[in-house]
Amino acid sequence: MRAACIQMRSGTDPAANFDVASALICRAAADGASLVATPEMTGLLQRRPNAFWDAVKTPEDDPLIAGFSALAKSLGITLLIGSLAVKIAERRAANRSYVFGPDGSTIAQYDKIHLFDVNLGKGQKWQESAIYDAGSRAVTADVDGAKLGLTICYDLRFAALYRALAQSGAQIIAVPAAFTVPTGKAHWETLLRARAIETGSFILAPAQGGKHEDGRVTWGRSMIVGPWGDVMAAAHHDNPGIIQADLDMAEIEAARAKVPAWNLTTKFTGP
């Protein structure tokens, strides 16, 4: 299976973001990718609350959902839209991944479980829970003869979710992201490789990168990691683009046979 990660620099106009993403997705498919993944917040990065609520739509009314579904069908690929902001109640949203099959159907959707409520200092304070409702369910999807586990960005720091996905059969785990620069520089590659090693899975990590229209700056450096922790493909920059790699499912069996830590359940007693 050839997998591709799309790196973007999404702005405040969903229609423009759709056009950019679509062009990159088409290029990846033309290069032979049958599984293409885009980053977190593919459709909109908007920090101003009023402008955000003016732009965000319900799933039923969001033209991007219909548009990406149609694109997957026209290209005959499996398309993971890393996430879209979708309205689920009055001034409440979900940070939601969508997986569209080669026939355009919605194979799976996943709401981000771990919301990014942090204070990094120097004015970098984030509180996703002020806008988003957290998901409560781990999700896998059958894609192209393999099982794909879904996570989003800050989920990366919670190893228990990745163990649960692997134990549910996930062979590939997606980590679409919009990492901050301080956390990206310090932790992005380390955490991606750790999650791959711990689970013996391929990791697909399409990222946002660069300075966005709303003023935020994201880390970029999209990455595909093998089940032994090897970096198979990486963007060494923040610019929009594509990385891709051929995934051999036999590598998963080999890695897990050597170190089957993902499959162990250990109970601890108190100190």
Known catalytic residues are 40, 112, 153
The token pair that represents 110 in the structure block: 């996943």
Query: 146: how many CB neighbours lie within 10 A of its CB?
Result: 19
Cα 86 to Cα 58: distance, rounded to the nearest angstrom:
5
Helix axes 63-75, 14-30, angle to 10 degrees: 10
φ and ψ at residue 131, rounded to 5 degrees: -120, -40
Taking the alpha carbons at both ends of the chain, their separation in whole angstroms is 46
The total number of residues written for the chain in this structure: 271
Q: Please give the single-letter amino acid code of residue 266.
A: T
What is the rounded CA–CA span in Å between residue 194 and residue 198? 6
H or E element at residue 64:
helix 63-75
